[in-house]
Amino acid sequence: MIFILEDEHAIRELIEYALNTHSLESKGFATPRAFFETLNALSEDCMPELILLDMMLPEQDGIEVLKILKKKQSTKHIPVILLTAKSSELDKVYGLNMGADDYVTKPFGVLELLARINALLRRTRGLSLDEYSFQEITLNPKTRIVSSNGVPINLTHKEFEMLMLFLANPHLVFTREQLLESIWGSEFQTRTVDVHINTLRTKLGESGKYIQTVRGVGYKIAQI
């Protein structure tokens, strides 16, 4: 469960929708009072896995809420991502020094937020980043070994980087433009992405089916 403390209704609903559609259960709150009423009623083993915390709130600002969370024995371990309209380096450093684990500057892209959430959850769940896996596909970033059903697969550098991006963000849809920018840079055409996707699927064999086309948008890795 992910708690969202954000007073702007439209932003809160957008985040909840994005999380829920990517199999991340969430609950939103408009005020610190409502947030703490729910949080304080929970037993320690039912606490949220992560908190998204807006810095500019009614009643109390986000930093005050963060201080309370980090002082309490039952909540000090919960990772926090700050949602902030403040873009200065000092504001960001201050939030991190107060105990936040990460921050996202408004206006933010949903894909960026989801990627940061997934990265933080992987760390806090104790999952090793030495290896990524999805179904029968495994990828080791250090040895650069990829296998499917235990059979090694030889990938080019770009194919490897693309597969690792998908495995690090399962179920997350990437547009062609995002894949292009992340892996190749802007000097290439989006057709380059389609060609590499087709080659990657072929090399993965039966497991290639997990790299799905989202019509009119881009690609994702997900179960059929």
Percent of the chain with pLDDT over 90: 51
- 120 and 139: one domain? no
What pLDDT, on a 0 to 100 scale, did the predictor assign at position 3? Answer: 98
- 112 and 146: one domain? no
Return the HEC string of the chain.
Answer: CEEEECCCHHHHHHHHHHHHHCCCCEEEECCHHHHHHHHHCCCHHHCCCEEEEECCCCCCCHHHHHHHHHHCCCCCCCCEEEEECCCCHHHHHHHHHCCCCEEEECCCCHHHHHHHHHHHHHHHCCCCCCCEEECCEEEECCCCEEEECCEEECCCHHHHHHHHHHHHCCCCCEEHHHHHHHHHCCCCCCHHHHHHHHHHHHHHHHHHHHEEEECCCEEEECCC
Residue 187 or 65, more confident: 65
- 36 and 95: one domain? yes
Domain of 75 in residue numbering reads as 2-124
What pLDDT, on a 0 to 100 scale, did the predictor assign at position 88? Answer: 63
What pLDDT, on a 0 to 100 scale, did the predictor assign at position 128? Answer: 47
